[in-house]
Amino acid sequence: MQIAIVLFDRFTALDAVGPYEMLCRIPGAETVFVAEQPGPVRGDRGSLALVADKTLDEVPSPDIVVVPGGPGQSAQMDNEALLGWLRSADATSTWTTSVCTGSLLLAAAGLLKGRRATSHWLALDVLAVFGAEPTGERVVADGKFITAAGVSSGIDMGLTLVGRVAGDEYAQAVQLGTEYDPQPPYDAGSPRKAPAALVAELRTKSRFILH
Amino acid sequence: MQIAIVLFDRFTALDAVGPYEMLCRIPGAETVFVAEQPGPVRGDRGSLALVADKTLDEVPSPDIVVVPGGPGQSAQMDNEALLGWLRSADATSTWTTSVCTGSLLLAAAGLLKGRRATSHWLALDVLAVFGAEPTGERVVADGKFITAAGVSSGIDMGLTLVGRVAGDEYAQAVQLGTEYDPQPPYDAGSPRKAPAALVAELRTKSRFILH
C-alpha cells in the first residue's frame, strides 16, 4: 500500500507529520513524500524542511493521498501541475485525504463538489465557494474522501484511517504505541471552546497565528 | 530566543515536529534543527527526512533544547559528541526538554539524576538506571527540565512550555490556531486505558510498533 504525502513551499509541518506518524505504521505501507521537485521543501516558518524523495510524476497512483495545508496553500490554488496530479491520483486512489487548508486544494481540483468536508476553522467558508459542504467536525469522511480540521487534527484523521484500513484493534495498538492519550494544558482548541475574545482576535489577525 | 531541536538517525518524526509546531510560534523564536552533521536526517522508517540546518557545534547555547526519541536513541547512548553537547547546552539553557526516549539521552548525559522525569511507557524503567525518578505522567516538569511521554505527548509538552514562556493567553491562541482539540477515535493511548491484552502484546513485541 503506497501512501503519498504531498509537500509544497510553506506547508505546515504537523499537517503532514501527524498523519504520517499514524499511517506509516499500517502493515506493508510504503510512505513517500512527494513534491513537484525532489529535495528539501521548506515549511511555513522557513526553519523546517522535509525532504521530498520523489516527484509527483514518479508517484502517479498511490493508494492513499494526503494533502497538508499551511500558508503556502494559497499559492497552489491555481497550480495545474499539482491540481492535475491530485485529479489523476484521486482517479485510482483508495483514500484521498487532507489536513487543514489542504482540503481547499482538493476543492480547487474539483474533487469535493457536493461532498461534506472540513478545513481549518478559519478557512471553512472557502470550501463552500468550491461547492463543498463545510462542517465544523474534526474529521469528516464522505465516501473515500477524509478531510480533517486544523493542523493537529491530522493525527485524529490518520488514526481513523488506520482503523479503516487495518482494523480497530490494530489502530488501538498504534494509538498505544504512539502514546496518543492527549492531555492539552488548556481547553481552547476550537472556536466553540476558546474565549470569545480570542476567537475574535484570531479572526481579525489570523495571519499572525495561522500563517 | 533560540530553540534547538536535535536530530539523529532513526528519530521518531512526531517527537520532533509536535513540540516544533507549538514552540516555533513563540514570539521572537528562532527554531533550528541541529545534528552532528548538517543535511537530511532520516527518521525511524527511512521514508521521512528532516533537514538539520546546523551542526551541534554551530548552536552551542540555545535557550531551549528539545531532544526527541525513537529507535535510533539507543545508538546515541554512548555518543559523547551528542552527550557532551547536551551537557554544555544545558549549562546555559533556560529549558531542557525531551519527548519519548529522548529523556534517556538526557539521563545518559547525567542531567536527570535525582529528578522526576518521564519517557515512553515502555522505556520508563530505564530512566531509573540513570538515577532519575520515573513517573507515569504525560508531561513532567522538574525545575528547568520538562520531559514528555511517548511520541504524541510532545505536543502537550510544547504547549505547556509555550505557556511558561509566553503566558497562558498566548498559549491558548496557539492551541486555537493549531486547532488542538484532540478527538482520538479510540481510548487506548496509555497502558492504563488500553485493553490489557494489547498492553501485554506490546510489552513483548514492542519493537513491532515502537520501533
Q: What is the pLDDT of residues A65-87, one digit of tens each?
A: 999 999 999 999 999 999 999 99
Q: Which of A5, A12, A21, A23 to mutate to test the interface with B (most CBs of B within 10 A)?
A: A21
Do B75 and B113 have their domain in common? yes
A24 is catalytic: no
What's the structural domain count of chain A? 2
Do B70 and B83 have their domain in common? yes
- Partner A contacted by B202 (CB < 8 A): yes
Do A120 and A210 have their domain in common? no
The burial class, CB within 10 Å (0-12 / 13-18 / 19+), for B114 is: exposed
The CATH number of whichever domain residue A141 belongs to comes to 3.40.50.880
* Cα–Cα nearest to B122, from B140, B103, B107, B108: B103
Do B104 and B139 have their domain in common? yes
How many angstroms separate the CA of residue B14 from the nearest CA in chain A? 6
Q: What is the pLDDT of residues A109-138, one digit of tens each?
A: 999 999 999 999 999 999 999 999 999 899
Q: Give the domain range for residue A209.
A: 185-211
Across the interface, do B179 and A139 touch by the CB < 8 Å criterion? no
Assembly ipTM: 0.96
> Given this model, what pLDDT does residue A207 score?
52
Across the interface, do B180 and A152 touch by the CB < 8 Å criterion? yes
Please list every residue in chain B whose beta carbon sits closer than 8 Å to the beta carbon of residue A51: 40, 48-51
Do A196 and A157 have their domain in common? no
In this structure, is the dihedral angle defined by the CA atoms of residues B203, B204, B210 and B211, taken in order, positive or negative? positive
Q: What is the pLDDT of residues A147-195, one digit of tens each?
A: 999 999 999 999 999 999 999 999 999 999 999 999 999 999 999 999 9
Do B34 and B76 have their domain in common? yes
Q: Does residue B72 have a pLDDT over 80?
A: yes
Do B83 and B160 have their domain in common? yes
Residue B44 and residue B211 in contact, taking contact as beta carbons nearer than 8 Å? yes
- Partner A contacted by B120 (CB < 8 A): yes
Do A65 and A167 have their domain in common? yes
Across the interface, do B175 and A195 touch by the CB < 8 Å criterion? no
> Given this model, what pLDDT does residue B136 score?
86
> Given this model, what pLDDT does residue A13 score?
98
> Given this model, what pLDDT does residue B207 score?
53
Which residue's C-alpha cell is 489536513? A99
> Would you put residue A30 in left (φ > 0), alpha (ψ -120 to 50) or beta?
beta
Do B65 and B153 have their domain in common? yes
Do B193 and B141 have their domain in common? no
Do B121 and B195 have their domain in common? no
Mean pLDDT across B147-156: 98
Residue A175 and residue B184 in contact, taking contact as beta carbons nearer than 8 Å? yes
Do B24 and B57 have their domain in common? yes
